[in-house]
Structure 1
Amino acid sequence: MNNNKKHYLTCKDYTVSNQKFDLRYNNKLEMLVTSPQPKLEELASYYKSSAYISHTDSKKSLTDKLYQFVKLYALKKKLNLINSFNSEEKKILDIGCGTGDFLLTCVNNGWNVVGVEPNNNAKKLAEAKLTSNQESQIYSELKTLTSQKFDVITLWHVLEHVPNLEDYILKLKLLLKPNGVLVVAVPNYKSYDATYYKQFWAAFDVPRHLWHFSKKSIQLLFSEVKMNVVKILPMKFDSFYVSLLSEKYKSGKSNFVIAFCIGLLSNLKALKTKEYSSLIYIIKNN
């Protein structure tokens, strides 16, 4: 994908490197592209931080505890969502499964699960949680799964991380059964909290986030492989968590009151605009 587009913002990597990266606007797809993007062999080094909470089960800081509390609520919502689909074998692939909590929730509710997690530490934690279910498998790479087909494939805040985006989307389509459902959750740079925090918006998370999507960009990218967005759902808690991290990046302090107010205001504005901090896209084959 051509990165030579109009400059939008310059952001800093607050988690690992303190390097600065540009966000460039792709007019055709109405999305932002991180520039320069790390080489494939360099990407893993930008995830090596105890602050990268999705790869740990940390409950040390107040922010960690808040994340884990919200995660429990979110797991129930995710389960209700996938249970609403008419799945034949209840076979699900969770890409970027992290420490395996969603997979475990699915197993405990009658789903046949497969996971993909490239981070070795997170993968080990996930495998430990699923030891009692011998049919569960977790792989390091998506390309290992070419012979399998799934009723449901989920990517909870994963698509923004993947190199070679268009090729990856085609792989997802090929792994899905003809009547299967793809669930994609990503941050939304058109939300109020994104426009308020600008370069400090935590969900830009450069350079781990290579792509920054709008509703139009998701619809266009999947339509290119003859897949349709059939429903868009909000992730209302994300605005609060992202605002809390953004406040710390902006001021150096965890301003809980201000973060809560911005998160709430973002959700209130989204009641009209539908531009929530993060969105879930339900996508089916055309």
Structure 2
Amino acid sequence: MKPLVHAWPSEGIEHVERCPVCGSSGREQLYSGLTDRVFDCAPGRWDLYQCKGCQSAYLDPRPTPRTIHLAYETYYTHQPPVARSTERMSGAKRLVHALANGYRNHRYHSDLEPANGLGPYVFRLLPRYRKRLDRKMRSLPPPKPGGHLLDVGFGSGAFLLDAQRAGWQVSGADPDPVSVMNGRGLGLDVRQGGIEAFEDFAETFDVISLAHVIEHVHDPVGTLKMAYGLLKPGGLLYVETPNIHAYGHVHFKEHWRGLEIPRHLVIFNWESMTKTLKKVGFTEIQNLSIPSPYVNLAGKSRAIREGRDPYRFARKTLGDRFNGVRVSLPFLADGRKTEFVALYARKDHSS
């Protein structure tokens, strides 16, 4: 895989004089001359800096909002969700699938089929696999009557459909017109754009989800402020985003899959995300214990380092699997170095 290195349009580049997270001008360069080695569609070479204040990382220069679409020509969210068929599954896989559906129906009040009623009891004994199922549902609380959820950057629409089956009234925003067309074809209430597409819905939503979105936006703090304004008092914001302090980044450096230049404009860490949410006004911040995707990202990062397509040639080694176990053990792992920051933050009830 040879990355595109011809220049980004000169009129489509903007400079970033201060950290987009904390506003500090102090910084150090992490990498220079980075190219798109994940989806192999974005032109240009890019420099990544780390803020000396909050330790977040950010691109400078970066694509402008008007031209950033050039980095998404072959992005994976263009495809609608594909329902899993159990017809070709082996007997064992069908049983696991039914047990998983049984757990999700019990935990999230959905109506998935086929379902096995033993699922809640089986997955209680398998916490690692249970957390994988919870991550797919973003650990949603039970919906209140009329509970309204907004997924920003809904992509394929798979999560919106899952949340809808669990009893939520759902809406979505995505800048990709193909995703919006697919979402409407699924009967979903979706709008094209970022979170600002719902700016006329003040204090409407019980839950807003920003799953692997905040790293893509030009004004992450403004996005979090808008989310705060769109939530009802007591509402929840879900955030999941790459962590610049991750074990994977420490090991693979500029080849780490989580960088995804130039689509990822800003990369937080646990501390910078938590402080920013508190500054915006959120309270009761809950760190979510999601399964570490270290092994999966390590395979993709190795492919990037070898100049291969990370989605076709990811090679997971025994060492990756060992490290994956090690970084998941509470008594060995540093919680600040998980591959992703994942948390819930609550809007104050008195707001």
TM-score, normalised to structure 1, is 0.83
Q: 2:155 aligns with which of 89, 98, 101?
A: 98
Aligned match of 1:107:
164
Q: Within 2, Cα distance between the matches of 1:162 and 1:75? A: 27
Which has the larger displacement, 220-229 or 104-113? 220-229
Aligned match of 1:7:
29
Q: Within 1, Cα distance between the matches of 2:283 and 2:152? A: 20
1:243 CA displacement = 1.6
Structure 1 residue 127 and structure 2 residue 127: aligned? no
Structure 1 residue 31 and structure 2 residue 56: aligned? yes
Aligned match of 2:141:
83
Which has the larger displacement, 270-279 or 198-207? 270-279
Contact 1:173 1:225 in 2 (8 A): yes
Which has the larger displacement, 217-226 or 97-106? 217-226
Contact 2:292 2:327 in 1 (8 A): no
Which residues of 2 match residues 43-62 of structure 1 at below 5 A? 43-49=68-74, 52-57=75-80
Which has the larger displacement, 226-235 or 186-195? 226-235
The residue identity in structure 1 corresponding to 2:46 is F
Q: 2:198 aligns with which of 145, 158, 166?
A: 145
Structure 1 residue 276 and structure 2 residue 338: aligned? yes
Q: 1:201 aligns with which of 256, 260, 263?
A: 256
1:247 CA displacement = 1.1
Q: Within 1, Cα distance between the matches of 2:264 and 2:182? A: 23
The residue identity in structure 1 corresponding to 2:36 is D
The residue identity in structure 2 corresponding to 1:99 is S
1:37 CA displacement = 1.2
Q: 1:101 to 1:198 in 2, by over 3 A?
A: same
Contact 1:234 1:279 in 2 (8 A): no
1:94 CA displacement = 0.4
Q: 1:19 to 1:264 in 2, by over 3 A?
A: farther
Q: 1:143 to 1:58 in 2, by over 3 A?
A: closer
Q: How many residues align?
A: 267
Contact 2:238 2:344 in 1 (8 A): yes
Structure 1 residue 231 and structure 2 residue 254: aligned? no
The residue identity in structure 1 corresponding to 2:167 is G
The residue identity in structure 1 corresponding to 2:198 is L
Structure 1 residue 177 and structure 2 residue 232: aligned? yes
Q: Within 2, Cα distance between the matches of 1:152 and 1:229? A: 14
Flag the structure with more relative contact order, 1 or 2, with Cα contacts below 8 A and sequence separation at least 6.
1
1:114 CA displacement = 0.4
Q: Within 2, Cα distance between the matches of 1:261 and 1:12? A: 30
The residue identity in structure 1 corresponding to 2:340 is S
Deviation string 1:118-152 (CA, Å, 9 cap, x unpaired) is 111222222223x2xxxx41011232312321000
Which has the larger displacement, 159-168 or 107-116? 159-168
Aligned match of 1:65:
none
Contact 1:185 1:280 in 2 (8 A): yes
1:231 CA displacement = 0.9
The residue identity in structure 1 corresponding to 2:225 is L
* Percent identity between the two aligned chains: 22
Contact 1:118 1:140 in 2 (8 A): yes
Contact 2:326 2:332 in 1 (8 A): no
1:196 CA displacement = 0.3
Q: Give unmatched runs, 5+ long, in structure 1.
A: 60-68
1:38 CA displacement = 0.5
CA RMSD of aligned residues (A): 2.6
Q: Within 2, Cα distance between the matches of 1:83 and 1:271? A: 30
Deviation string 1:69-119 (CA, Å, 9 cap, x unpaired) is 9xx9856544371125x7463110000000100000111111100001111
- What secondary structure, in the 3-state scheme, does the structure 1 residue paired with 2:67 have? helix
Contact 1:79 1:106 in 2 (8 A): yes
Deviation string 1:51-73 (CA, Å, 9 cap, x unpaired) is x32332599xxxxxxxxx9xx98
Aligned match of 1:240:
295
Please tell me whether Structure 1 or Structure 2 has the larger radius of gyration of its CA atoms: 2
